[in-house]
Amino acid sequence: MMDTLSASLKDALKKLAGKAVVDRAAVDELVKNLQRALLSADVNVKLVMDLSKAIRTRSLDEELPKNTNVREHVLRIVYQELVRLVFATADLKLEPQVILMAGLQGSGKTTTTAKIARYFQKKGMKVGVICADTFRPGAYDQLSTLCAKINVPCFGDPTTTDARKIVREGLVAIKDLEVIIVDTQGRHALEPDLIQEIIDLNVITKASHRWLVIDAALGQQASEQARRFHEAIGIDGVIITKMDGTAKGGGAMSAVAETKSGIVFIGAGETIEDLERFDANGFISRLLGMGDLQALAEKVQEAQASTEIDMDAMMKGHFTLRDMYKQLEALNKMGPLKQIMNMLPMGNMQLPEGVYDVTSTKMVRYRILMDSMTPQELDDPSIISSSRMQRIARGAGGTPEEVRELIKYYKMMHKTLKGLRGAAGGKFNMQRLMKRFSGMQ
Amino acid sequence: MFSGLRDRLQAARNKLSESIGAVAEKAQPKPTVDSVKTSDAEPVMAKNPTLADKVRVLFIERELVVSEKDVSGALGDLEMTLLESDVALPVADALVTDIRTGLVGKHRKIGESVDTLVVKALKSSLLKVLGSGFDLPAYIKTHERPVKILFTGVNGTGKTTTVAKIGAYLKKQGFSVVIGAGDTYRAGAIEQISVHADRLGIKVIEHQTGADPSAVLFDTVQYALAHKIDVVLADTAGRFHTKANLMSQLEKIRRVMKPDLIIYVDEAVAGNDAVVRAAEFDRTIGADAIVLTKADMDSRGGAAISIAHTIGKPLLFLGTGQSYEDIVPFEPGAMVEELLGGGPV
């Protein structure tokens, strides 16, 4: 199901490619497909409507940035709007703190508690866990077994039913530890007694963080539940669990929007190590079922940035190896040289096909060589003597000849840019430029 | 329970009635000029009821034909309603299409209320999806004992709690029950089911954590045979349908204990993924009935519609709270009645 959705999303994007102006019908179709993709990923219906409205307005109203095509422009807007929703990363400091876990029944609080304990333990913190789940049979056994595996002290008392008492005693018993994680019983927003209990626990623990654990499969209910929890104790972070299934985690996105917090961790597996910090790009790619969103969005930005560098350098008549490195780096991210050439303000030069490939493999080598240079050498390549060349070559696992070739390439670029500057007034010396590029082969 | 969905559906029902009603009013005062025109336009017969048809039935047969245009707005709203209630997207699409075909082209007699027409279409579509329910006590009575029931599902949907609740329910119905602690993976799972069973006075067969669940459940069946127990309830560890090795473990369990019923447990709050995983479990292990847990958390209950539509299996029980009595046998007729309110089917 998801595959066909992302396919239709891609189709809609394809229709935008090659258009000179933003086409209203094509944008509408894209927005429609996007809505369907997001709805199938369980994102809150109202959120989807707001989001698609924003994307539609921005796509149609914003001016097309220089050197980008319509498709990239719209895609970047889609990406930015989505990232805006989830990007508020919840802060995570390695300092003494008390973390209160909250969530619905069966969302994975206990497993996640142990995973977080492991996370802080690996960062070198002293961690302790309090089991305040006095309701579910076996809850204490589960948590203490998991904690025993990683040698984390676990405080609990399966014989009492008073969570408040356990937490009070627990805080005293393990007060020497730096990070204290309080696991609580699963509850939902329509249980007033339990909501009161977690409000009390929040007061007793003076928790520095109150994290809401959300099952990736949670549907439209996520917003409502998150809102109630937020009202009760002020959620400042969301953890998505069970991301190893096929669920997309759109519910968690709604929860984040509702609590105005960020996603702290993602749980994706049954072992204690299966906890990851949140990565907005990966999350959105999964949400939409297409992997190349970030790359494409970045490409546009890089393309804009790299032309800026060019212009700067040209105007100042100052071009160092560093600038060249930046260019090569941008180039590496953007893919084949051919595309870059189309983006540069020189117009579409028709170079023979083979030229590009050879050049791009060389460029990778050049980058490696430059990685072995000192800052001084990058700023002022003229100081590179033959002994420096030896050192650079050895550092990069290459030969001094390669370094020499790099310097030659740099000088050529330098001259080319000077040439461009000389021809200021809008007339680029195309022939000379082409000759120089092909001369490199 | 499901009050949210009920309110929304009733709003949609009213909207549909209104839009059809509005068309009816508009169509009625039109004079005979139209009917003259219609005779010329007669050969143009589109799929939708043409004006000619409408006018003819209005004036000759004294009926009204519902056209696609009349209901498209209201149906769009209905689709949004279903989506907001966690009915998965493909299922919502299918339902709306079904309702549309149920409505469009229908001849409404002047005497008949618009409301009746709409309710009829909604009810028949929902009933088609929800199936006929499943009577577990009757099933046990008519089958050879012990009746072996295997519970499956992804992590954290409430399998262990459901096993305890069904155990309590069957015990109250006068059946003898034994539980097999087949979740040997999750820490604390065996303790959890033992405590439940102790409280309920039900025998549990258990091995230690890490043991082969097939062996535990085989022993449970042997115990039931030896002691002439009526029902075997087999708990298993939660697993994701994407984990091939865990799914093949489940297949081995099925091979070894040969269950009479496989019950798939999922939660009422699950979103679109409910459809994906229900289909996958049904495909690999099979499922004879569904239990939907955590129905008290949520007044929407769309997952019930989604899952039932996807795997076409009856809903057995709804879990509606944390105590052992919080389990309700599912009756589709009653639920549809509750969702849509009165009116004859």
Contacts of B267 in chain A (CB under 8 A): 106, 217
Contacts 24+ apart (CB under 8 A), A390-396: A393/A369, A395/A371, A396/A368, A396/A369, A396/A371, A396/A372
User: What's the pLDDT band for B303 if we cut at 50, 70, 90?
Assistant: confident
Q: Does A133 touch chain B (CB under 8 A)?
A: no
Distance in angstroms (rounded) separating the CA atoms of residues A55 and A83:
12
| All structural domains of chain A with their residue ranges | 2-86, 97-288, 293-439
Q: Are residues B177 and B90 in the same domain?
A: no
Class of domain A293-439: mainly alpha
Say yes or no: B109 and B176 in one domain: no
Residue to substitute from A1, A221, A239, interface B, most B β-carbons within 10 A? A221
pLDDT bucket at B50, cuts 50 / 70 / 90: low
B169 and B263 co-located in one domain: yes
Which pLDDT band holds residue A40 (cuts at 50, 70, 90)?
Answer: confident
If you measure CA to CA, which chain A residue comes closest to B271?
Answer: A219
Between A97-111, A348-362, A375-389, B115-129, the lowest mean confidence (pLDDT) is in: A348-362
Same domain, B28 and B65: yes
Q: Are A174 and A152 spatial neighbours (Cβ–Cβ below 8 Å)?
A: no
Tens digit of each residue's pLDDT (9 = 90 or more) over A164-200: 999 999 999 998 999 999 999 999 888 889 999 999 9
- Let me know whether B10 and B148 are in one domain: no
Indicate which CATH number applies to the domain containing B244: 3.40.50.300
Which of B97, B130, B163 marks a domain boundary? B130
Q: Based on the domain organization, do B142 and B245 belong to the same domain?
A: yes
Q: What part of A 166-195 touches B (C-beta under 8 Å)?
A: 188-190
| Average pLDDT of every residue of chain A | 78
The answer on pLDDT for B343 being more than 50 is no
**Domain that residue B116 falls in:** 3-130
Q: Is residue B344 in a domain? A: no
Domain boundary among B98, B130, B162: B130
Average confidence (pLDDT) over B54-75: 65
Q: How far is CA B160 from CA A35, A293, B166, B325, in A?
A: 37, 41, 10, 15
Within 8 A of A246 by CB-CB distance, chain B residues are 240-242, 273, 276-277, 280
What is the average pLDDT value for chain B, to the nearest integer? Answer: 81
Cα–Cα distance between A169 and A183 in angstroms, integer?
Answer: 14
Does residue B275 sit within a domain?
A: yes
**Which range is most confident: A75-79, A311-315, B52-56?**
A75-79
B257 falls within a domain? yes
Contacts of B277 in chain A (CB under 8 A): 217, 245-246
Strands B203-205 and B315-319, by their bridges, are unpaired
Q: With b meaning 16 or more CB within 10 Å and e meaning fewer, what string describes A334-368? A: beebbebbebbeeeeeeeeeebbeebbebbeebbe
Chain A residues in contact with B301 by the CB 8 A cut-off are none
Residue written as tokens 């099979």? B286
- Residue A311 CB contacts under 8 Å (≥ 6 apart), including other chains: none
Report how far residue A21's alpha carbon sits from residue A73's, in angstroms, rounded to the nearest whole number: 11
> Which pLDDT score, from 0 to 100, does residue A435 have?
46
- Own/partner pairs for A228-232, CB < 8 Å, 24+ apart? A228/A189, A228/A195, A229/A102, A229/A103, A229/A189, A229/A198, A229/A259, A230/A258, A230/A259, A232/A195, A232/A198, A232/A199, A232/A202
* CATH class name, domain A2-86: mainly alpha
**Radius of gyration, alpha carbons of chain B:** 25
CB atoms A137 and B192 under 8 Å: yes
Rounded-to-integer distance, Cα A75 and Cα A82, Å: 11
Look up tokens 């170079």; give the residue: A351
Q: Based on the fold, state whether residues B149 and B83 are members of the same structural domain.
A: no
Residue B311 CA to residue B300 CA, distance in Å, equals 20
Cβ-nearest to A219 among B269, B277, B280: B269
Distance of alpha carbon A107 from alpha carbon A9, whole angstroms: 31
Residue B49: pLDDT above 70?
no
Instruction: Tell me the whole-structure pTM to 2 decimals.
Output: 0.70
Can you tell me the distance from the alpha carbon of A277 to that of A119, in angstroms, rounded to the nearest whole number? 10
Residue A106 in contact with partner chain B when CB distance is under 8 A = yes
Quick one: which of A5, A11, A85, A12 has its CA closest to A41?
A5
Element (H, E) at B267: strand B261-267
Q: For Cα atoms B298, B300, B301, give the angle at the middle one, nearest 5 degrees.
A: 90
Share of chain B above pLDDT 90, in %: 38
Question: What is the arithmetic mean of pLDDT over B184-202?
Answer: 92
Dist CA B310 CA A318 (whole Å)? 66
Of the listed ranges A91-105, B22-36, B62-76, the least confidently predicted one is: B22-36
Distance CA A411, CA A362 (A): 16
pLDDT in tens, B215-254: 999 999 999 999 999 999 999 999 998 888 899 999 999 9
The helix (run of H) or strand (run of E) holding residue A377 is: helix A375-379
Average pLDDT for A424-438: 44
Q: Which chain B residues have a beta carbon less than 8 Å from that of A183?
A: none
Residues B28 and B158 in one domain: no
Distance from CA of A1 to the nearest CA of B (A): 8
Residue whose token pair is 């508020």:
A88
Tell if the CB–CB gap between A40 and B88 is shorter than 8 Å: yes
Classified as helix, coil or strand, A308 is helix
Taking CB atoms within 8 Å and a gap of at least 24, the contacts of A398-404 are A398/A365, A398/A368, A398/A369, A402/A365, A402/A369, A403/A369
**Residue B41 pLDDT:** 37
Range from A349-353, A427-431, B32-36, B51-55 carrying the lowest mean pLDDT? B32-36
Angle at Cα B271 formed by Cα B268 and Cα B274, nearest 5°?
A: 75
For the cut 50, the answer to whether the pLDDT of residue B104 exceeds it is yes
Do A242 and B89 make contact, defined as CB atoms within 8 angstroms? no
Last residue of a domain, one of B103, B130, B157: B130
Closest CA to A154 of A133, A136, A130: A130
HSE-CB for B230 with a 13 A CA cutoff: 18
ipTM, interface predicted TM-score of the complex: 0.73
Q: How far is CA B19 from the centre of its chain?
A: 29
Q: B232, B178 in Cβ contact below 8 A? A: yes
Of A115-129, A394-408, B241-255, B302-316, the least confident: B302-316
Pair (B253, B302) in one structural domain: yes
Mean pLDDT of B199-213: 93
Q: Does residue A127 surpass a pLDDT of 90?
A: yes
Does residue B126 sit in the same domain as residue B142?
Answer: no
Tell me the two tokens of residue B248. 């093949």
Within 8 A by CB and 6+ apart from B188, the residues are: A110, A138, A139, A140, A141, A142, A143, A145
Residue A158 has pLDDT above 50, yes or no: yes
User: ∠B165-B336-B277 over CA atoms, to 5°?
Assistant: 55
Which of the residues B8, B80, B269, B292 would you substitute to probe the A interface, choosing the one with the greatest number of A C-beta atoms within 10 Å? B269
| Cα A188 to Cα B268: distance, rounded to the nearest angstrom | 13
Domain A97-288 part of CATH 3.40.50.300: yes
Alpha-carbon gap, residue B157 to A105, rounded angstroms: 8
CA B139 to chain A, closest CA, distance in angstroms equals: 30
pLDDT band at A116 (very low <50, low <70, confident <90, very high): very high
Please give the backbone phi and psi of residue A377, each rounded to the nearest 5 degrees, phi first.
-65, -35
Task: Check A248 against B273: CB less than 8 A apart.
Answer: yes
Q: Are residues B120 and B176 in the same domain?
A: no
pLDDT given at position B301: 66
Confidence (pLDDT) at B107: 67
- Cβ of A217 within 8 Å of Cβ of B154? The answer is yes
| pLDDT at residue number A434 | 45
DSSP A289: T
**Strand, helix or coil at B300?**
coil
Could you tell me what percent of chain A has a pLDDT over 70? 73
Looking at residue B296, the DSSP 8-state letter turns out to be: G
- What does the pLDDT average to over B288-297? 87
What is the least distance, in Å, from the CA of B164 to any CA of chain A?
11
Pairwise CB contact (< 8 Å): B192 & A145: no
B143 and B40 share one domain: no
Residue A439 has pLDDT above 50, yes or no: no
* pLDDT score, position A432: 47
Task: Please tell me what DSSP assigns to residue A381.
Answer: G
- Total domains in chain B come to 2
**Chain B residues lying within 8 Å of A138, measured CB to CB:** 188-195
Give residue A146's pLDDT band: very low, low, confident or very high (50, 70, 90): very high
Structure tokens at A55: 């994307």
CA nearest neighbour of B277 among A202, A246, A124: A246
Q: Which runs of E-coded beta strand occur in B43-142?
A: 63-65, 107-109
Q: What is the pLDDT of residue B166?
A: 96
pLDDT score at A293:
58
- Choose the closest CB to B86 out of A1, A145, A219: A219
Q: Please, what is the end-to-end C-alpha distance for chain B in angstroms?
A: 22
CA distance B224 to chain A (A): 25
End-to-end CA distance of chain A: 49
